[in-house]
Structure 1
Amino acid sequence: MFNQPLENMIKITEKPIDVQKVIETASSLNAGAVNVFVGTVRNNAHGKNVVWLEYEAYETMAVGEIRKIIDDASHRWPLLGWAVSHRIGTLKPGEVAVAVAVSTPHRRESFDACEYIMDTLKEKVPIWKKEVFEDGEEWISARPEVAVNS
């Protein structure tokens, strides 16, 4: 499992995410920690049953934005390896929507870097999600609403 990284990875895909490959790609023999976040589709949201989700992305821009996030994270923490994979298309409850893995010398920086990458990805990367319920559907904003004080 802890091989030298083959190469780091950014992948936007319609195919199921191979979480083990994400982990292996991020892993390093020099690392004391590999942190992994796996985001899955839940079966409810807003008090309604989710039938499926649809993810769309502006792929070229999404990959570029993820690269910027990784570059920023690598200036904040000593990343030894990393990998990000995000699904697009139709996903059912229980399926993996996103996987982020990082390796660092120590666990705290690994936790912090992984959380930063995932949080910033949700905030800045042009990937949109539509939740489809039994009684309708709703597009979820890719960016949080910003409150403006008047």
Structure 2
Amino acid sequence: MRSADASGFGPVDLYLLGLPESRLDRAALSALIDLADTGLVRLLDLIFVAKDEDGELTLVEVEELPEGVEIDIASLGATGLVGHDDISELAAAIPAGTAAVLVAIELAYQRELAVRVADSGAVLLGYERIPAPIVSALVDNLNPKRGD
């Protein structure tokens, strides 16, 4: 039986996180960094994206982040993974005059799950993610609070 290889990858999610200000600082990334430190997720790539009032994009790769934004670049699993097509598609959601950080994240358990499924001879035939707000709303509708 194969084991999950540290150089192997499971499924990767791209998250576009709108920033409270039009600049990147450590506070905006602290939740991601803290979660990565637990081993639950692995940060693979990170790009800062700013959109000016005219809709022009400015991209800052993780290697070019300004002083004061400390990310251990060596710990990132696949810098350069996020491509220009990904950036263009997701950046459409950034309002003019604001900024976001685009991160590629691997959920560590999914890597192990992928290895175990493959080892069993099974094949993943489909996958769909249901966003958390939708799940919460569905559960609330299925299980209304008594006494409301």
Give TM-score scaled by structure 2 length: 0.30
More strand by share: 1
Give TM-score scaled by structure 1 length: 0.30
More helix by share: 2
